[in-house]
Amino acid sequence: MNHLILYFAAIIILLVSLSTSDSNSDLVSELLNLQSQSEAGVIHLNDQLVSRFLTSTKTPRPYSILIFFDAHQLHNKPELHLQELRNEFSLVASSFIANNVDNPSSRGKLFFCYLEFKESQSSFALFAVNSLPHIRLVGPDAKSLKDDSVQMEQGDFARMAESMADFVQSRTKLTVGPIHHPPLLSKKQIGLIVVVILIWIPFMAKKIFAGETLLHDRKIWLLGSVFVYFFSVSGAMHNIIRKMPMFLADRNDPNKLVFFYQGSGMQLGAEGFAVGFLYTIVGLLLALMTHGLVRVKSVSIQRWVMIVSLLISFWAVNKVIYLDNWKTGYGVHGFWPSSWN
């Protein structure tokens, strides 16, 4: 009798495990199917699919799912970078699929999906997502979608596709491999540009010999060099290399924007341009006074322009010193005898 019960129990367990593994592989193949149909390999989820692949399945699931929470009506808000991030997300997805073509076992372990706010509001609630951009990884063992899944931090998508891939790699132990960026120009475009340049060269050469190009206009050179100076001292290269945003939203008060970042070694875009402008304006005003204003005949114009430019210069220099002090704690002191203090 005992033996029989044990026997039955063993069979039942075997069946159950078989059926679950069977349904698991079904799910995977279904997901793979969905993936092949969707654009760039990012599956469009909705409430039904979420419940089918995530909530109603038993853990551990054989796959992880990385979900991008999207809202179409917010695409026109540039400060959220939703569209940009969405593109980067698809880049990671397509790169993952392309790099793991020969490796079906790891290809079936991670799926890239997105949820649209308008049609899947209950799923948004399920994940307790109330702000965007938001990317979440649901691991194989996650039971409660809200608590067990991992949110991708702001820092993880700061460097776009590469850092998203790093995040995925560190959490899932799957390799994403190199990101395949689309080439900047397609081959046809490059060919076209080469042809245009070839046609243009003789005309250009003729103009150069005649000496009547933009290159001979000194104002262009002057403007160009002052602009390069402005561009460099404003630290714009830093912003480009580090991909710094123009400004940040205040953490305490989301309606407020932060334009100036306290602490050296980092700066925001708007901040750099503001100070670069201050750096440049003083020199320009000084040049205006020494080269332009002296030629003006009217004394009262001279007087007013000088007053204004001196005031602005004074203010600009003071402002930069003040900002530097605020940002880096910079403070010089004269080396007076100590008895003077």
Binders of another protein among residues 227 to 266 (CB under 8 A) are 228-238, 240-242, 264-266
33: its two tokens: 């199917």
What's the min distance (Å) between Cβ of 195 and another protein?
16
> Using omega within 30 degrees of 0 as the cis cutoff, is the peptide bond preceding 133 cis?
yes
272 binds another protein (CB under 8 A): yes
30: left (phi over 0), alpha (psi -120 to 50) or beta: alpha
Residue placing its CB nearer to another protein in the complex, 100 or 234: 234
**CB 240 within 8 Å of CB 282:** no
Q: Which stretch binds another protein (CB under 8 A): 28-36, 48-56, 131-139, 290-298?
A: 290-298
Residue placing its CB nearer to another protein in the complex, 122 or 225: 225
CA dihedral 269, 275, 277, 282 (to 10 degrees): -170
260: its two tokens: 């100036």
Task: Identify the bridge partners of residue 150 per DSSP, sorted by sequence position.
Answer: 137
**CB 233 within 8 Å of CB 279:** yes
23: its two tokens: 């349904």
Give the total residue count for the chain. 341
294 binds another protein (CB under 8 A): yes
Residues 103-122 that bind another protein (CB under 8 A): none
Residue placing its CB nearer to another protein in the complex, 200 or 221: 221
Element (DSSP H or E) covering residue 328: helix 299-328
Residue placing its CB nearer to another protein in the complex, 77 or 206: 206
326: its two tokens: 């605020």
Q: Which stretch binds another protein (CB under 8 A): 85-93, 117-125, 248-256, 327-335?
A: 327-335
Residue placing its CB nearer to another protein in the complex, 11 or 307: 307
52 binds another protein (CB under 8 A): no
Residue placing its CB nearer to another protein in the complex, 60 or 224: 224
**CB 203 within 8 Å of CB 119:** no
Residues 129-158 that bind another protein (CB under 8 A): 153, 156
Using the rule CB under 8 A, which residue among 1, 5, 184, 332 binds another protein?
A: 332
64: left (phi over 0), alpha (psi -120 to 50) or beta: beta
Query: Could you tell me how far CA 109 lies from the centroid of its own chain?
Result: 26
What's the min distance (Å) between Cβ of 268 and another protein?
10
Closest CA to 54 of 152, 134, 122, 130: 122
Residues 207-226 that bind another protein (CB under 8 A): 208-209, 211, 215-216, 218, 221-222, 224-226
Using the rule CB under 8 A, which residue among 34, 249, 257, 284 binds another protein?
A: 284
Phi, psi torsion values for 13, nearest 5 degrees: -60, -45
Q: Which stretch binds another protein (CB under 8 A): 24-32, 58-66, 93-101, 284-292?
A: 284-292
Q: Which stretch binds another protein (CB under 8 A): 14-22, 60-68, 192-200, 306-314?
A: 306-314
* Residue located via tokens 């079904």: 26
**Cα separation, 176 vs 166, whole angstroms:** 8
38 binds another protein (CB under 8 A): no
Residue placing its CB nearer to another protein in the complex, 21 or 225: 225
The count of residues interacting with another protein (CB under 8 A) is 72
What's the min distance (Å) between Cβ of 294 and another protein?
4
282 binds another protein (CB under 8 A): yes
What's the min distance (Å) between Cβ of 100 and another protein?
18
Q: In what order do the strands lie in the sheet with 134-138?
A: 42-45, 110-116, 64-70, 134-138, 150-151
197 binds another protein (CB under 8 A): no
**Cα separation, 114 vs 132, whole angstroms:** 13
What's the min distance (Å) between Cβ of 130 and another protein?
23
